[in-house]
Amino acid sequence: MSITTTELMEGVKLHKINTKKYKTNLLAIYLTSKLDRKHVTENALMLAILRRGTNKLKTQEDINIKLEELYGADFNCGIDKLCNDSVFKFYMESLNDEFLYEKENVLEQSTQMLFDIVFSPLTENGMFNEEYFNSEKENLRQIIRSRKDNKGAYAYSRCIEEMYKNKPYGLYKYGYVEDLNLITRKDLYEYYKKMIAECKID
């Protein structure tokens, strides 16, 4: 197994791990930005919208069809807190081209699809798609309001909030309803562009 890291440009690094152990390729994009109360809710909403569609694959159904065409490739994403940072994580796992009967460039197609999801979201009139924005905003509202339903997880998150009170790590990673109510489509898309331009990318 060999590991190499190449800095493609300032703030953008490519990490490559070569191994013959698996029959699949795992691609990942990590976007790291500073965590603060102003943006924690926007981050959670943005992630939910990004996974819904791209300018090429406009619906969840289109994305699922493309994944099936790539021999059942798997896509997932999430958001985590790491110290004082917020980390967006996007994953794509697909079959290694070596195990296909014909050369179909599954790795190349998977890479392009992952890049489209992260860097080419579905937009209209310089904003995120209205349907996706509204539905994901309501979904996020329900997630935030239902955090008390799982008593164990709620106790843990409240403990973290109290231990790190007034510090970035103490923020709830899905944000807050009062902040969610203030987010507009235009503001969220402008923040997305700024975040992509300034965040650390691995």
Q: What is the pLDDT of residue 136?
A: 97
Q: What is the pLDDT of residue 100?
A: 82
What is each CA distance from 46 to 96, 129, 142, 162, in whole angstroms? 31, 11, 16, 26
Q: What's the confidence (pLDDT) of residue 97? A: 86
What is residue 20's predicted lDDT score, i.e. its pLDDT?
84
Q: In the chain, which residues have pLDDT < 50?
A: none
The CA-to-CA distance between both ends of the chain, in Å, stands at 20
Q: How far apart are CA 198 and CA 193, in angstroms?
A: 9
Quick one: pLDDT at residue 112? 95
CA distance 133 to 74: 24
Query: Torsions phi, psi of 183, nearest 5?
Result: -80, 130
Which sign, positive or negative, has the C-alpha torsion 159, 160, 164, 170? negative
User: Which residues on adjacent β-strands are paired with residue 14?
Assistant: 6
pLDDT at 50: 97
Q: Is the pTM of this model over 0.85?
A: yes
Q: Are 161 and 169 a contacting pair, CB within 8 Å?
A: no
- Phi/psi of residue 48, each to 5°? -65, -35
Strand partners, 128: 123
Q: 51 in helix, strand or coil?
A: coil
